[in-house]
Amino acid sequence: MRSGNLGYPRIGNNRQWKKALEAFWAGKLDEETFHAELKAIRLGNLKAQQERGIEIIPVGDFTYYDHILDTAAMFGIIPERFYYEGGEPSLSVYYAIARGNREATASEMTKWFNTNYHYIVPELGQSEPQLTRNRLLDAYREAKSELGIEGRPVLVGLYTFLKLSKGYSPDQLDAWIDRLLPLYSQVLRELEAEGVQWVQVDEPILATTLGEEDLAHVARIYDYLASAAPGIKLQLQTYFEAVDHYEAVVSLPVHGIGLDFVHDGGRNLQSLHQHGFPEDKVLGAGVIDGRGIWKADLQSKLDVLKTIAEAVHPDRIVVQPSNSLLHVPVSAAQETALEPALRGALAFADEKLEEIVLLTKAAQGGAVAVAAELAASKLSREALQQSESRNRTLVHQRIAGLASQPSSRPSNSNVRRDVQQKRWNLPLLPTTTIGSFPQTPEVRSARLKWRKGEWSEAQYETFIKEQIKIWIDVQSELGLDVFVHGEFERTDMVEFFGEKLDGFAFTANGWVQSYGSRCVKPPIIYGDVEFTSPMTVAETVYAQSLTQAPVKGMLTGPITILNWSFVRDDKSREEVAYQIALALRDEVEALEAAGIGMIQVDEPAMREGLPLKREQWAGYLEWAVRAFKLSTSTVKDETQIHTHMCYCEFHDMIDSIRALDADVISIETSRSHGELVGSFEEHTYDKGIGLGVYDIHSPRLPSVEEMGSMIDRALRVLSPEQFWINPDCGLKTRKYDETVAALRNMVQATERARKKYTAQVNG
């Protein structure tokens, strides 16, 4: 057996990559210095793998922004609006595609399969693809000359690239395969001429639900590549799930197949033993979790490798992570402030590489050779498992009694609507916002002073109250109907709640890339989640004391907290979601008891948790909906439950969204308003709904007329009596003046619409 890796975090152990990008964008680094700084980070990443004893080291996985954008740029697939004239794209063009510029909007960004990483969606359109520069050849040469590493270039597979692209119709797929095959072949032939022996071709699309036509396309692609570059060996890498069409995939004319033995639910291992494995291929055995942050149960992993070795000769097995380590932080070495039991159980990218090397040694020489290391790893896992944080009696009792917990409102939505209208007496087309108001430099500075201890708790509380009052007055002056307190005390919609619930921890340097230079530190759900005291009541009650208008309580929902965190691996995600839901229920009940009669429980990440396999969607959505309803079902009929979701393919989820039974839902739709509204022409929705009438992600000020047309478009298929008017998302990132101006226009557009539609409602 040999040890291998599939990809390494790009950002550097102190986010040097992020800082270099942002300095370059700000004009603080010239291009030559920028290239030099990124080269240093790139070589440092390779050296980290080399020093830990990894035998097969990937090259070409490093990027200046995103690996899918890199692939598009390498093949000259540049949208026309960037005035690309051929050849290698300049950095200005490259970054304009990712970030936009004064003349052109950025390309769409979306999730990389079911991870929290976002890629830039290639736009094929009328592009005439060409090989602009063989970046993999550059990466291979650099690693070899600078560090003596015989690296394995990483190439995004042709079929995955096309399936993740836009700008072509299904009947054009074959033509695009024909356009790109010669270019992929050219890349491989140039690598072959350089002496490269192996290339890793990433085809995660093979772990999704595919049909026979897809398999035929894939077979055609690899037949072509095998004949075009016969002297190079291809390692076809799949990850994130099991391969459904196992026999077809392992029969492809490649020299190696990489399979995920962590997130496959045991199906890849089952297929391996049921159907065998070709004797002329190498198996990349993804046994170390490339997405989680926990130390592996190494004895269990050795048992898996032993089982694999019953079907594949050990000389043809590479021990590797389940996927690229892009999705985990760089190193756990700096997390000295965490409690010892938790810290000892963590494994970030560097620690996972060490586990891979350790497993390889154990498989080669027997577990006795590394007995001390195996014992130490086992003790670390057991210490966390036996800790108080994972043995909270009350939490376990509540989960055990789930069957008796209310998971639906006592009355149906029609009854609740009448009760709530009597209580609130809202006008037609009520106006509100999604929750947050601008986090100004003053707000961020105050929070930092408080966290550093430079401000007392009383000073910080006074400041937050001042901000709340400013924005209650603004909302009143603008004439909004339902207010929010502004969330000035919150940095992040998940972190805020994690800091106030038991069972969560936060790292000092556990950064991962979300998109571009945007890095996040996901909370760690390491123990049983438990409510300890009210989290949002004080600020919401204070805001309500300043106005007669209703003020919404604002919470983040259980599924979003789950999907935007690193989650413990000893319990199912479903059970952890229920733990969070029950803790949030306590907060919902505390808000209601304090007189707050509208409560918004946001679920922007519900769709993000959908499994890759379509046949598993129903199961996930069932427990996701149940978790939301566990949070919200104990309130009185007169208490109005709101939720907010970011844009999704609404027709895929409309039944589940309806099943949430929220009284009002707002959806981020301004960039796809017509498309989403069109889905209501096919599906009915009978509860309150707000389709965002302007895009908060842009500083551009939409006119009254523009917002009015958005309202009219929605009311072609929705009843005015169910429609709410709101921005499409929170206003945290906007400035004061632009926020006030946009909301003023929104209110004016609403007033015009009320005059227009009141007669229609009154018959």
Catalytic residue list: 697
Q: Is 668 flagged in the annotation as binding?
A: yes
Cα separation, 674 vs 367, whole angstroms: 61
Q: Is 150 flagged in the annotation as binding?
A: no
Q: Is 20 helix (H, G, I), strand (E, B) or coil?
A: helix
Cα separation, 50 vs 44, whole angstroms: 10
What region does 553 belong to: left with phi over 0, alpha with psi -120 to 50, or beta? beta
Q: Is 602 helix (H, G, I), strand (E, B) or coil?
A: strand
The candidate with the shortest Cα–Cα distance to 457, out of 481, 428, 429, 489, is 489
Q: Is 648 flagged in the annotation as binding?
A: no
Cα separation, 591 vs 535, whole angstroms: 9
Secondary element (H or E) of residue 600:
strand 598-602
Q: Tell me how long the chain is.
A: 763
Secondary element (H or E) of residue 405:
none
DSSP string, 502-563: EEEE--SS--EEEETTEEE---EEEEEEE--S-SSHHHHHHHHHT-SS-BEEEEE-HHHHHH
The candidate with the shortest Cα–Cα distance to 642, out of 584, 592, 670, 603, is 603
What is the distance of C-alpha 63 from the center of its chain? 19
Q: Both tokens of residue 656?
A: 């589940």
Cα separation, 20 vs 614, whole angstroms: 40
Contact criterion met (CB below 8 Å) for 280 and 314: no
Classify residue 201 by burial, with Cβ atoms within 10 Å: 0-12, 13-18, 19+: buried
Which ranges constitute the DSSP H helices of 195-285?
Answer: 212-228, 246-250, 267-275
- How many CB atoms lie under 10 A from the CB of residue 386? 11
Cα separation, 643 vs 442, whole angstroms: 29
User: Distance of CA 159 to CAs 67, 130, 292, 607, Å?
Assistant: 15, 17, 27, 24
Q: Is 490 flagged in the annotation as binding?
A: no
The candidate with the shortest Cα–Cα distance to 720, out of 433, 428, 431, is 428
Q: Is 435 flagged in the annotation as binding?
A: yes
Burial 19-28 (b: 16+ CB within 10 A, else e): bbbeebeeee
Q: Is 487 flagged in the annotation as binding?
A: yes
Contact criterion met (CB below 8 Å) for 74 and 66: no
What region does 12 belong to: left with phi over 0, alpha with psi -120 to 50, or beta? left
Amino acid identity of residue 356, one-letter, is: I
Cα separation, 598 vs 638, whole angstroms: 9
Cα separation, 717 vs 671, whole angstroms: 18
Amino acid identity of residue 725, one-letter, is: I
The candidate with the shortest Cα–Cα distance to 654, out of 609, 607, 722, is 607
Q: Is 111 flagged in the annotation as binding?
A: yes
For the chain, helix, strand, coil in percent to 5 are 50, 15, 40
Contact criterion met (CB below 8 Å) for 461 and 539: no
Contact criterion met (CB below 8 Å) for 236 and 256: yes
Cα separation, 423 vs 375, whole angstroms: 63
- How many CB atoms lie under 10 A from the CB of residue 746? 26
Q: Is 729 flagged in the annotation as binding?
A: yes
Q: Is 518 flagged in the annotation as binding?
A: yes
Contact criterion met (CB below 8 Å) for 535 and 497: yes
Cα separation, 446 vs 455, whole angstroms: 8
Q: Is 646 flagged in the annotation as binding?
A: yes
Annotated binding site for 5-methyltetrahydropteroyltri-L-glutamate: 111, 518-519, 564, 608
Q: Which parts are annotated binding residues? A: 111, 434-436, 487, 518-519, 564, 602, 608, 644, 646, 668, 729
Binding site for L-homocysteine, by residue number, is 434-436, 487, 602
